[in-house]
Structure 1
Amino acid sequence: SSPEAEETEGTSAAEAVVSVPLPPLPKATRDAVLLALAPRDAVDIALYGRFLAEIPDSPNVDGAVQTGHAFTVHEAEQIEDFYAAADDAKLDRKRNALSFLDAADDAGAGMTGYQSLISGTFYRHAVLDRTQLRTNLRAAGMDEQEADTAASEAEKEFVNAFVLAFPEAKKNSTASTGTLPALVLAFEGERPYNYASAFQRPVDEGPVSAGGEGPAGPAAVRRLLRHHTFVSRRREDLRTARVLTYDPEIDTLLGELGLPQSLTLVERTEDLTP
């Protein structure tokens, strides 16, 4: 046969291989995948939802959690930190070299570079749909009592995780794991209320005597609580709110402000949930 004929036959064979459809997912495997991801056994799926495009008839789950990205309540300036690192053992060998060949030894580490640094007082927002969470658990096979018990435990874990959350980027060089929020405000309502608009105008950290608002932390707390109180007077669905602080200065500030009856000061994350 001619080379052209062999090439045509090879192309046809390749096309035939490509056009063979993938075998359907065996039912046992499909059921095992869905069982492993069942919301009643993986509560994080009941919280955050699930979408399996690979299994068209899979029971997808609507998320019960909404989160917003964190942003600073004041103007934050990015700093470029230039650094240099040298291997002390390498430098020591060069200083104590007995000959030119020893001094030429270049084994060891050495580098220069820069990294961007930025810090600030952040506002974070998250919503937990308690009704949707229980709906997801009921749809997964739990009865009403089981769903309510599992949802209550999930709520506590979610709130605790939100309070203790911290940025992990470069956590070894920034020691971010020790941070705790200056203030946590938790409340219930028939719909989400995001107070990000309280910080449309950045906090002016200048001296109060010069028209500023002082340090960002206390200033942000004043704005946030003022905003919540203002909205609460106009939205009857807002229920009793709870506040938690890990900052003694903020604790003193809350005492000076005099919290309204609609706000309850708590001391543990477990008390933030109803």
Structure 2
Amino acid sequence: MQLHLLTHYPPSNLNRDDTGRPKTALVGDATRLRVSSQSQKRAWRTSETFAVDLAGCLGRRTRQLGKEVFKTLCAGGVSDKLAREWAKDIAKQFGKLKSDKKPVNDSDLEIEQLAHLSPEEWEATFALAQALIARKEGPTEAELRLLTQPRRAVDIAMFGRMLADSPEFNMEAAVQVAHAITVHRAAVEDDFFSAVDDLNRNDTTGAGHIGERGYGAGLFYLYIAINRELLRHNLGGDEALAERALAALVQAVTRVSPTGMQNSFASRAYAGYVLAEKGDQQPRSLSQAFLKPVHDQGEGMFTQAVTALETRCANFDAVYGACAQARYTLNVETPTGTLAELIRFVAE
């Protein structure tokens, strides 16, 4: 399954670089605005859509597991010393612990790298903590084997996980997400702003605060490749859960925006165009359609971008043979297609 999306964002700073400015990329000798795949996946994974539609089937990504176990043990009456020892034994099953010689705020209980725990692993971890509280004895080696192959965590099944110290419990991502780029040349601009101190009534000329932030606007192309068979395998062969997962994913990618600086820019947007393809062929992005930046030549940039995308798709078919067995198109400009039908096409 492949998804090709065009989404317009007004002035915004959806995904910042290390200087706080919107990320960019040089494509076809032209600078484009860029939104990283990590930013997009984070927005989808933590969205209300996922929380509601996939309740009970999402993992937790954290370095704080040891601290949470420690709090649980202490609340159950275990001494500070034993609770810390047992919490470390449990947390280090999911990754190497920080080796702080002088720990601050229980930092010695933190895992060095983010660990993505499945619902089964999270439940087993705190069931073990309750068992330790009840019997007042430490965990056995067998009880500490908390890592499993996730079978109920949709986000892990989709986007994978990597455990450096326990590679046998890694999971290959069934959903591959490209960095979104503008289909046209784009520049990062600067917004100078000031704020008035409401209580400083005597100063009518100055400002209580001044600042500057970067922003940009554009029509973004996003490409997603989904290995449906791998997704179903990652979910333990549960076809119904795989369909729920795909339905939630389509809802999220078409309607959920990256969260960067939303309070400052309110850059919420729905996808204006989606081309969905399914088949057993080798997947391929259509980003090549935008090596030459799109220019508004009278019919509108959005329409030209759609034409460039569909022309490139037809050209690939002409050269390589049919690159998909079935396709479905949603276009808000015409309008063509519906979200409900798009979900049905992708999920079933």
Maintained 8 Å contact 2:278/2:326: yes
Task: Please give the TM-score of this superposition, normalised by the length of structure 1.
Answer: 0.68
Deviation at 1:243, TM superposition (A): 1.1
Deviation at 1:95, TM superposition (A): 6.4
Looking at structure 1, the residues matched to 233 and 321 of structure 2 have their Cα atoms a distance apart, in angstroms, of 26
Cα offsets for 1:63-84 (capped at 9, x unmatched) = 1111111110011122111111
Deviation at 1:123, TM superposition (A): 0.3
State the identity %: 30
Measured at CA, do residues 95 and 240 of structure 1 come closer, stay the same or move farther in structure 2, by a change above 3 Å?
Answer: closer
1:48 equivalent in structure 2:
159
| Worse-matched range after superposition: 236-245 or 116-125 | 236-245
Maintained 8 Å contact 1:73/1:216: no
For residues 21-170 of structure 1, the aligned pairs below 5 Å read 27-28=141-142, 30-32=144-146, 34-35=147-148, 38-55=149-166, 58-90=168-200, 92=201, 94=202, 110-138=208-236, 144=237, 147-170=238-261
Looking at structure 1, the residues matched to 214 and 141 of structure 2 have their Cα atoms a distance apart, in angstroms, of 51
Total equivalences in the alignment: 208
Maintained 8 Å contact 1:127/1:192: yes
Deviation at 1:124, TM superposition (A): 0.6
SS of the equivalent of 2:172 reads coil
Deviation at 1:215, TM superposition (A): 2.3
Cα offsets for 1:25-84 (capped at 9, x unmatched) = 55355433x25xx5222121111112212335x422111111111110011122111111
RCO higher in structure (CA 8 A, sep ≥6): 2
Higher Rg of the two aligned structures: 1
1:188 equivalent in structure 2:
278
Task: Please give the TM-score of this superposition, normalised by the length of structure 2.
Answer: 0.54
Of 292, 307, 321 in structure 2, the residue corresponding to residue 201 of structure 1 is: 292
Structure 1: unaligned runs, 5 residues or longer: 1-21, 97-108, 139-143, 209-213, 255-264
| Equivalent AA in structure 2 for residue 251 of structure 1 | T
1:211 equivalent in structure 2:
none
Higher helix share: 1
Deviation at 1:169, TM superposition (A): 1.0
SS of the equivalent of 2:177 reads strand
Deviation at 1:128, TM superposition (A): 0.9
Structure 2: unaligned runs, 5 residues or longer: 1-87, 94-139
Deviation at 1:167, TM superposition (A): 2.4
Higher strand share: 2
Deviation at 1:129, TM superposition (A): 0.5
SS of the equivalent of 1:159 reads helix
1:221 equivalent in structure 2:
306
| Equivalent AA in structure 1 for residue 321 of structure 2 | R
Structure 1: 4+ residue segments shifted above 4 A: 22-26
Looking at structure 1, the residues matched to 278 and 321 of structure 2 have their Cα atoms a distance apart, in angstroms, of 11
Looking at structure 2, the residues matched to 194 and 29 of structure 1 have their Cα atoms a distance apart, in angstroms, of 46
